[in-house]
Amino acid sequence: MNILGIETSCDETAAAVVRDDRVILSNVVLSQIADHAVFGGVVPEIAARAH
Protein backbone atom coordinates (compact mmCIF):
# COMPACT_ATOMS: atom_id res chain seq x y z
CA MET A 1 0.00 0.00 0.00
CA ASN A 2 1.19 3.54 -0.76
CA ILE A 3 0.54 6.40 1.64
CA LEU A 4 0.27 10.06 0.60
CA GLY A 5 1.35 12.61 3.20
CA ILE A 6 0.66 16.33 2.79
CA GLU A 7 1.93 19.07 5.12
CA THR A 8 1.38 22.80 4.86
CA SER A 9 2.34 25.84 6.88
CA CYS A 10 2.27 29.56 6.21
CA ASP A 11 5.48 29.41 4.17
CA GLU A 12 6.00 25.78 3.09
CA THR A 13 4.08 22.98 1.41
CA ALA A 14 5.25 19.38 1.22
CA ALA A 15 3.97 16.10 -0.17
CA ALA A 16 5.40 12.60 0.05
CA VAL A 17 4.48 9.12 -1.08
CA VAL A 18 5.68 6.33 1.21
CA ARG A 19 5.16 2.59 0.98
CA ASP A 20 3.82 0.80 4.05
CA ASP A 21 7.29 -0.75 4.52
CA ARG A 22 8.62 2.84 5.08
CA VAL A 23 10.32 3.24 1.70
CA ILE A 24 10.04 6.83 0.45
CA LEU A 25 8.92 6.87 -3.18
CA SER A 26 8.67 10.65 -3.55
CA ASN A 27 9.26 13.70 -1.37
CA VAL A 28 8.75 17.29 -2.57
CA VAL A 29 8.96 20.53 -0.58
CA LEU A 30 8.06 23.98 -1.90
CA SER A 31 9.32 26.83 0.26
CA GLN A 32 8.96 30.60 0.43
CA ILE A 33 12.10 31.01 2.58
CA ALA A 34 13.86 33.13 -0.05
CA ASP A 35 10.84 35.45 -0.25
CA HIS A 36 10.97 36.14 3.50
CA ALA A 37 14.74 36.03 4.16
CA VAL A 38 15.31 39.75 3.60
CA PHE A 39 12.73 40.50 6.33
CA GLY A 40 14.22 38.11 8.91
CA GLY A 41 11.03 36.08 9.20
CA VAL A 42 7.68 35.33 7.68
CA VAL A 43 5.68 38.33 6.47
CA PRO A 44 2.01 37.27 6.49
CA GLU A 45 1.01 39.49 3.55
CA ILE A 46 3.78 38.07 1.35
CA ALA A 47 3.00 34.51 2.44
CA ALA A 48 -0.68 34.97 1.59
CA ARG A 49 0.08 36.36 -1.86
CA ALA A 50 2.47 33.49 -2.66
CA HIS A 51 -0.18 30.80 -2.02
As a whole number of angstroms, the distance between CA 27 and CA 6 comes to: 10
Domain that holds residue 29: 2-49
Residue 20 has pLDDT above 90, yes or no: yes
Once rounded to an integer, what is the mean pLDDT over residues 18-35? Answer: 95
Total number of domains in the chain: 1
Distances (CA, A) of 11 to 2, 17, 27: 27, 21, 17
Instruction: Report the pLDDT value the prediction gives residue 6, as an integer from 0 to 100.
Output: 98
| Closest residue by Cα to residue 44 from 10, 8, 13, 12 | 10
